[in-house]
Structure formats: C-alpha cells, structure tokens
Amino acid sequence: MLLSVKDLSFAYIEDWILKDLSCHINENEKIALIGNNGAGKTTLFKILTGELAPAAGQIYQKADLRLGYLAQNAEFESVKTLYDELYSANAEIVSLEKKLARLNEQMAAPANDEETQLRIIHEYDELHQRFDRLSGYSYKSFVHGILRGLGFEEDRFNQPVATLSGGQKTRLALAKLLLQKPDLLLLDEPTNHLDLKAITWLENFLAEYQGALFIISHDRYFLDKVVNRVFELSFGQLDFYEGNYSYYLEQREIRQELAEKAYLNQQKEIDRQQNIIDTLRARNREKFVRRAESREKLLNKIERLEKPLTENEAMHISFAPKQESGHDVLALEHISKAFGELTLFQDLNYSIFKGDRIALVGENGSGKTTLFRILQNELTPDSGTVRLGKNVQISYYDQEHSNLNPNNSLFDEISNQFPKMTNTEIRNLLAAFLFTGDDVFQKISSLSGGEKGRLSLAKMMLAEGNFLLLDEPTNHLDLVSREVLENALVHYSGTILFISHDRYFINRIATRVAELENLTLTEYLGNYDDFITKKSERQNPVFSGETTPARPASFLDLAPSNRIEPCSGKAESRAKKDWLLEKEEKARSQKRISRQKKLEEMIDQTEQRITELDLLLASEEVFTNYEKAHEISMQKEQLEEKLLGYYEELDELM
C-alpha cells in the first residue's frame, strides 16, 4: 500500500467539505476521482500533498514515497530554455551524468597511480550501473519524446520558459512529472491545454505508466482508457467502484436503484408493523398490549436504513430555434487567412446544411477559433466569401465568455439583454441553471469557470438561434452538466458546428467531423471513433482492409456473350425441378413453424423466471444483502438480453 487515509475531515468555516473520509491507494492502481464541481476533489489532493491541513484524521504514507502533483494551472518561473528546464527534471540522472563525465576525465589522466586508478574505476562502475538502471542513456530521447508527445515542436525546444503562456507552462509541468516517474502521481485535469493528438499520446503513456495514478478529470473518454478504479466523492464521503468510467456509471445506477428499493421496502415494512402495533394497542386488553409492546421492541431493534442521498441538482436546458433556417446554412468559398508569415488555411471550401452536427477538430494553433471568429464577423478573411443561408440566425458560445459583462450581476446580465422578461421569468431561468436565491445578484467577475459556462448557456438558450457555434462548450462543466448539455443538443432541431477536445462529447453529438489540417478542411462522416478509423484507413490503405480499385470496364466486358447456356427442353425435367423446390419450401416452412413454437415456449419460461427474480429482489433477505442483490440483478439482466434475442428471432420468422 502506498497511501492510506483514515477519518479525514475538512471544513471551510462551518461548511464541511470532507467528513470522516477513508481510502487507500495501492501500487500501480490507476484511480479516477469523480464528483460534482465543489465536492472537494481538489481540496482532497491539496491535503494529500500537504498544501492544506485537515481538521481531523490521519494520512499514512509508505516510507520514501515519491509523490508528484499536477495542479490545474501549474505555473512556475525559470530562466532556462524549455528543453533545459525539462532535462533538469530528473536531478539524479543529471547528477550521475556529470559525475561519470568527471570520472571519465580522471581515468584518462596519465599521472594516476595504480591505487587511485582502481578507486576511480570502481566508483565509475558503481555509478555507471546506477545510471544504466535509471535508463540514463535513453534519457535524452525520452525528454524529446515527452516534449513532442505533449505538443512542443522541436523548433521551440530552445524557447525561454519565461515566454511560454500559462497553458504551455502547465504542459511543461506535466512533462517534468512524467520524467520524474513518481510512485504516486496526482493529476488535476491533466488534459486541460492539450489538443486531441496530445491527449491521445498522454492516455497511451499513462495506460503503460509503472506507478500509481490518482486523477481528477472531466474527460470521460480519457478515463475509460486509463483508469481501473473509480472513487466517487459525494457529501464528503467516498464510494468505491472497480473498473473504468463506463463501468462505474453502470454500477452506480444499479447501486442507487438497489439502495432506493431497499429503503422503500424497509419503510413499507416499518409502516406495516406500526399499523399492527397501533391496532393491538387500540383493543385495550392486556394480552394485546403485551403483544404490541413485544412487536415494538423488535421494531426498535431493526437497523434503520438511511434514505439514499442523491446529488440530483442538474441544469434544465432545452434549445429550440425561434425560426427554421433554409436547407443551405453556410458556404465557405475560397477562404484564406494568415497572420504575418503564419498561414492558417488557404483556399478553403466547405458547406454546411440544415440539421448537420459537425465537430471541428485540429491541433492547437491550426486556426479553429480563428475560423469561428470569421463566421462571427469578428475577423475578416484575407480572401474568399462566407455565405449564410436563408433565415440563418447564429448563436455563439465563446469559451472565453467575452460576451459576459464582468461588472454585471447575473440578474442584470439577463435583464439587460432580454428586457421583455419579467423578474420572475429571469429568476426561474437562472434557477434552471442552478443559480438560486441571492446567487442571482453575484457579480459575474466573481463566478468560477463552470458558473460562467452555465450563464453563457442560459443566454444562448434565450437567443433561440437555429445555427449554434460552440467553442469548447464542455470546458469547466462537471460531468452531470456535460450529460445534460449533450442531451439538449441531441434533441436540438437546428444546425451545430462545434470545437471540442472532449471525445466522449464528440461521439454523442457529431454526425460529421471536419479536420483542419495542412491549411484545409477534410471531412469524415460519423463521430469521433469513425473519424479515427477512417483517417487511419486513408493514411495506411494497405493495412486498412480496403480493396484495390476496380479496373474500368473493357470492350470485352461490354460485348454480348456468345456462350450458349445448355437447355434440355423437356417439360418433365422442369416439373421435377418445381416439385423438388416445393418440397424444400415445405420443409423450410415446417422447420420455421417448429422454431416459432420453441421460441414462444422459451419466451414464456424466461418471462416467468424474470418475474421470480423481481420478487426475490423485493424480498427483505435479498434487498438488504448487496452482493446477493447484485448477483440476482446480473442474472435478470442476462435473461432480459436473452429475451430480447428471442423476440428479435421470432420477428424475423413471422
């Protein structure tokens, strides 16, 4: 075991964030820490690293535990270049390299006596073995690989760290941690500031990481690829799940259903017993009163189940266009844009039609946001034309939330832009986006990133546009809010063009993917997974399973055939053939009828067994035993899958 936490508690003033929390982390475990925004995930990380002190509880660490921590916006100051800063990350390798170089020079000195030479050789040999165990000879290539993997091109290796942006410094901080290879790596939103290519590289790296990982992330696709356990932080406590994020969702739903059913069934039984007790007491005879008292004692001994708590606060979003657009929504004709010597796209042509849901992807700096700004008339293309279709009304979600006035309150922000709304309507709207009570009078400047995101979504919903431009709409939203947004967009009848690094989100929303690469747009039908598959096929056609193109038809292919088909001309032969075909058809019909009867019997038996399992799940013996209830639930699920298969086969035979 690397780390253990027992009865940990932490509060801000009187607001308990963590309460009697316990957990442990073993070697090589890869754990996701899941929870709503504000649940205390980052607080827990800061306590584990010693940045915050708990109000109560103990933390036990393995002796000599090497712990690494990446904060959400990890920044640092350095006078070194990007490459030198990263190279110095593993101090032991750098120190050994210098010592070995010094000893090498000493061994070459001609003035050494035999004893001195042997001592130097012995020391060199010991240090060399340690250097080799640390993979010191491949360290330089490892540094290069990590820099490139996280999106730093080789021509920027000598760039001073001081000139990097905040996001680039966070990437560099992540690179340093990966080089140091700590026993336990705590990562708070590690995919922030990474493009899709870098995220894919990171998840492959972490999947093979020889150490333990504890990760806070809203990237569900990333979590599915990397983690093998999930800790859910809710109401100051942790619940534990084995498996990746998708498996966690399934198990969480089962647990919630079982817990709610167990609680309701127990309440029903308590009410029944109480009614019996009340009836016995009402008879007002000694023996009935004694029975009532006896039952009451038994009832009081029952261990009462607590009502299951659910963090069910979620936004209520529904996007609906005020007016339908025409079929042609947008046409880009020969669009080009450059900044100085940097050309982002050239002679770009692309069309978008009503109902399209298109993900715009590409590496950081490829020009995605620039293209959005051109569509918004915030920038002018160097050449080309942007044509909007008939009745097209754009609603724009800006990841920087520049459309929000930081000096306004939430209430004023809505009231100023939508003056026809009443006070009650504004409050109801803001409540739907989880702003209630005095929250509506907060200054926008005091809001978190997630809160600004919710307010921007509220304004976009009110705008009722029929063409949504979304620039990183899931940034800063917690997992529940992301799912609510996805459901709203899936049911939206208008057109969507969006930029996102959230592959799970792209998979749910996109019907087409447009990649901005090599100065142009390349389109792929389908969602993100389809895009990856088809792009791989285009790049590696030999290994993709694609067939070679068919050769053009020749004159020989098109000429009439001069082959003569044999024909007996005998009616008897035709009659015999017809009789055989009829016999085969009757046999097939009998077989089909027999199979139908068998399927109907199997359906009856399976439905009867499912009913029996439902009764078992409702029994006290089962609903109070999680393992037994889970086992029966799995049996029921398997039977329901079989039942569906039987019905599908029966439909085909009918």
Q: Which two tokens stand for residue 227?
A: 């983690």
Question: Do 389 and 328 contact (CB within 8 A), yes or no?
Answer: yes
User: In this predicted structure, what is the pLDDT of residue 56?
Assistant: 94
Provide the CA 490 distance to its chain's centre, in angstroms: 17
Report which secondary-structure segment, H or E, holds 383. strand 383-388
Angle at 48 between CA 42 and CA 52, to 5 degrees: 70
**How far is the first Cα of the chain from the last one, in angstroms, to the nearest whole number?**
60
C-alpha gyration radius of the chain = 34
Report which of 460, 530, 519 is spatially closest to residue 489, judged by C-alpha positions: 460
- Is the full-model pTM beyond 0.95? no
Order of strands, sheet of 3-12, starting from the edge strand that comes earlier in the sequence: 15-25, 3-12, 56-61
Q: Which residue has the tokens 């070697």?
A: 27
Report which of 30, 26, 27, 6 is spatially closest to residue 18, judged by C-alpha positions: 6
User: In this predicted structure, what is the pLDDT of residue 148?
Assistant: 92
User: In this predicted structure, what is the pLDDT of residue 565?
Assistant: 38
DSSP-derived secondary structure for 445-458: GG--HHHHHHHHHH
User: In this predicted structure, what is the pLDDT of residue 586?
Assistant: 74
Angle between helices 139-149 and 196-207 (to 10 degrees): 140
Q: What is the largest CA-CA distance in the chain?
A: 115
Which residue ranges in the chain fall short of pLDDT 50?
Answer: 543-571
Q: Which residue has the tokens 């025409």?
A: 326
Q: For residues 427 and 425, what is the distance between their CA atoms, to the nearest angstrom?
A: 5
Question: Do 265 and 615 contact (CB within 8 A), yes or no?
Answer: no
- Residue 16: beta bridge partners? 11
User: In this predicted structure, what is the pLDDT of residue 654?
Assistant: 58
- Residue 470: beta bridge partners? 397, 498
Q: Which two tokens stand for residue 590?
A: 């009998």
Report which secondary-structure segment, H or E, holds 313. none
User: In this predicted structure, what is the pLDDT of residue 385?
Assistant: 94
- Work out the percent of the chain whose per-residue pLDDT is above 70: 91
Helix, strand and coil content of the chain, in percent to the nearest 5, comes to 50, 20, 30
User: In this predicted structure, what is the pLDDT of residue 610?
Assistant: 79
User: In this predicted structure, what is the pLDDT of residue 347?
Assistant: 93
